[in-house]
Amino acid sequence: MSVITFRVSVVRVVSVGFLSGLLAGFLTGSTSADDALSSLSDEFGSSASLAEWSRIHQVEGWNADQLQVLDVNTTMPGALVMRPWTSTWYQDYRGELTFKNVTGDFAFTIDVTATGGDGFGLPEAAFSLGGAMIRTSLGITSPEQWTSGAENYVFLSVGYGFGSGPCSPGEGPHLEVKTTENGVSDLCITPTAVASAEIQIARIGPAVICLYRSPGGAWQVHRRYARADMPATLQVGMVSYTDWFKASTYDPFFQNGHVLNAALGPDPSSNPGQPFFPDVQATFDYARFASVSVPRSLAGVDLVTQATDEQLLSFLGEHANPQPNPSDLNGDGIVNASDLAILLGGWGGALHDLTGDGVVNAADLGVLLGAWNG
């Protein structure tokens, strides 16, 4: 039965008074109180949403795509998947960043799993991880404008770092946190139970707070940084990188502007005999943006040096990770005619029941229209 026929049937069974009430609420704009940043969020339910993200190699004019795979709702239903070529983020080395520009204070939360490049197991190549990053734009549009010592960013990622790397983490899986200021990177690798986590980076004035939650665990404050150097508008998004030992055999400028794989000929590596070993697939289940409200009790408190973890967790972590609108049935971040068609297509059944009464009916239609924001 067509969607149009379903819609006619719905109108016949819903009283005029009830439907008028629903439409009145819909037309008055019941979602006006929504977080202004929520429109940037992506549940990765539609491949079309990839076009809403920017990519650093395009914005800066490098034109060297460092990802073998980048797609939404294709390789993995309901997820964004990144699979990089040999590439890295360290000092002047720049890898993949898929991002949106955000101004002011915010919290950015992702759910990411890192596997080997084949989609299974733990990555084996050194520094093969995926995570969240905030970065100061270089303000360049071509490689000719690039200068060393200009990178400024913070990231937290999960996957496999290096067992004897900074902070001596031992065998993986690992978390890697890194702050880079004027091209100088300071990093720490720590062990974690699994290569999967919800990761959050919050920027509040000069404070940058990195948090994570392992599956089934509680949110934890991982690191805090004072980054007064960062401007009002930042690039905020997702990173993945792999195969440090090969990537580091290239000059940073060359690595930043070339796809590093066996197609290079000749290979200008300082160790051309070392094989390429890209070995990570980062799968992101969602990417959510939220405004941050600091409690009045913390007014004037330095969030980097004075606030306790408990105080930070009182408004960050789960409190800054808005759940998706249940009326967004196709996961594209907007409640509109596409979601209405899905709802009407399931009329009378249990699929897409929004009220929990076991059947899709007029009450569910009311919920969806009340959440309409498209």
pLDDT tens by residue, 302-326: 999 999 999 999 999 999 998 877 8
The whole-chain average pLDDT of the chain stands at 90
Q: Which of 224-233, 308-317, 349-358 has the lowest average pLDDT?
A: 349-358
**pLDDT of 31 higher than 70:** no
Q: With contact defined as beta carbons under 8 Å apart, do 195 and 299 qualify?
A: no
- CA separation for the pair 136, 180 (Å, rounded): 10
Smallest Cα–Cα separation from 151: which of 33, 79, 253?
A: 253
- CA separation for the pair 120, 99 (Å, rounded): 26
Q: Which of 59-73, 193-207, 232-246, 351-365 has the lowest average pLDDT?
A: 351-365
Give the pLDDT confidence score for residue 332 in this predicted structure.
65
| Contacts of residue 171, Cβ cutoff 8 Å, sequence gap at least 6 | 163, 191
DSSP secondary structure letters along 96-164: EEEEEEEESSEEEEEEEEEE-TTSSS---SSSEEEEEEEE-----SSGGG--TT---EEEEEEEE--TT
Give the pLDDT confidence score for residue 331 in this predicted structure.
64
| Contacts of residue 63, Cβ cutoff 8 Å, sequence gap at least 6 | 57, 257
| Residue owning tokens 């294709």 | 74
Q: Is the dihedral of CA 237, 242, 244, 248 positive or negative?
A: negative
Alpha-helical (H) ranges within the chain are 3-13, 16-27, 56-59, 244-247, 252-257, 309-313, 337-345, 362-370
Orientation angle between helical segments 337-345 and 362-370, nearest 10 degrees:
170
Q: Which of 13-22, 234-243, 316-325 has the lowest average pLDDT?
A: 13-22
Domains and CATH numbers, the chain: 3-35+326-370 (no CATH), 38-320 (2.60.120.200)
